[in-house]
């Protein structure tokens, strides 16, 4: 399966820095990059980054969207607005939103529906906390997140991001990655039927250039969702090369 390397810039990137980073990526990634490449900048610079990447192999996405297309929702961004700014994708249900803003599986599922209705491909994030892993519940938690967040007919991407590996420099062991991705695969098939067998499952959590090739070669790993390392052009490019 062709890999997807996605960069989640999170709440980083003033206009000049964001355009400089996008320009550096565009200079290296024209024609076929050997894998699919996506960056998800803050919505304030999404249009400018999309423009800077025009003609390159790099696609753009949002980091969240509202369930409604428009309305009295101060501070929110809708899926059609992301699409209008040039996005083709959107990250939904990131643990920083599930834990920081109390987003439930049901809310994430509604956001997925809104994203698809606007023509965006959703990347649904799942992952257990350290406490849940230590108490032996990692697989149960993640299976329930898939079952609750992924609507019928889902044709997007799932990202497994163990919460304890995000921004910590700790990555899951190869055995744990394989076990969790297999668990996600079987839950996708249970929830979606045969369609669940072909969806990409990304790994995220302290993915860096060192170790990226080994990680991306693991069974059921269809790419990576990269946070910190996606803010450094040389590091993100090295991860892309590891996938190609």
Tell me which residues are annotated as active site. Answer: 94, 161
Cα–Cα distance, 2 to 164 (Å, whole number): 27
Cα–Cα distance, 137 to 197 (Å, whole number): 24
Shortest CB 17 distance to ligand 13P, Å: 17
Cα–Cα distance, 124 to 69 (Å, whole number): 19
Binding residue for ligand 13P, selected from 93, 128, 227, 235, defined by CB under 6 A: 227
Residue 38 burial (CB count, 10 A): 24
User: Which is closer to ligand 13P, CB of 80 or CB of 243?
Assistant: 243
Binding residue for ligand 13P, selected from 79, 85, 207, 242, defined by CB under 6 A: 207
Only segment of 23-31, 42-50, 71-79, 225-233 that touches ligand 13P (CB under 6 A)? 225-233
The burial class, CB within 10 Å (0-12 / 13-18 / 19+), for 70 is exposed
Minimal CA–CA distance to 61: which of 80, 92, 40, 35?
40
Do residues 38 and 4 make contact, with C-beta atoms less than 8 angstroms apart?
Answer: yes
- Which 57-96 residues touch ligand 13P, going by CB under 6 A? 94
At residue 103, the 3 state secondary structure works out as coil
Q: Is 8 in the site for ligand 13P (CB under 6 A)?
A: yes
Binding residue for ligand 13P, selected from 89, 118, 206, 235, defined by CB under 6 A: 206
With CB under 6 A as the rule, give the number of residues binding ligand 13P: 14
- Which 147-176 residues touch ligand 13P, going by CB under 6 A? 161, 166-167
Q: Which residues bind ligand 13P (CB under 6 A)?
A: 8, 94, 161, 166-167, 204-207, 225-229
């Amino acid at each position: 399966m062709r890999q997807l390397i996605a960069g989640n810039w999170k709440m980083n990137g003033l206009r000049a820095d964001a355009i400089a980073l996008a320009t550096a990526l565009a200079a290296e990634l024209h024609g076929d990059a050997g894998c699919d490449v996506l960056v998800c900048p803050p919505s304030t610079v999404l249009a400018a980054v999309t423009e800077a990447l025009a003609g390159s192999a790099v696609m753009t996405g949002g980091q969240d969207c509202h369930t409604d297309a428009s309305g009295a929702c101060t501070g929110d961004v809708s899926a059609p607005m992301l699409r209008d700014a040039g996005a083709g994708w959107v990250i939904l249900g990131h643990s920083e939103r599930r834990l920081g803003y109390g987003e439930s599986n049901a809310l994430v599922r509604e956001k997925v529906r809104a994203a698809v209705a606007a023509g965006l491909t959703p990347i649904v994030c799942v992952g257990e906390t350290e406490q849940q892993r230590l108490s032996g519940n990692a697989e149960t938690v993640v299976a329930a997140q898939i079952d609750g967040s992924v609507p019928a007919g889902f044709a997007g991407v799932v990202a497994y991001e163990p919460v304890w590996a995000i921004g910590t420099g700790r990555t899951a062991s190869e055995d744990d990655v394989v076990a969790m991705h297999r668990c996600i695969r079987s839950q996708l098939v249970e929830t979606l039927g045969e369609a669940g067998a072909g969806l990409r499952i990304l790994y995220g959590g302290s993915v860096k250039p060192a170790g990226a090739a080994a990680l991306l070669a693991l069974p059921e790993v269809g790419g990576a969702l990269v946070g910190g390392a996606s803010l450094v052009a040389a590091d993100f490019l090295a991860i892309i090369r590891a996938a190609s």
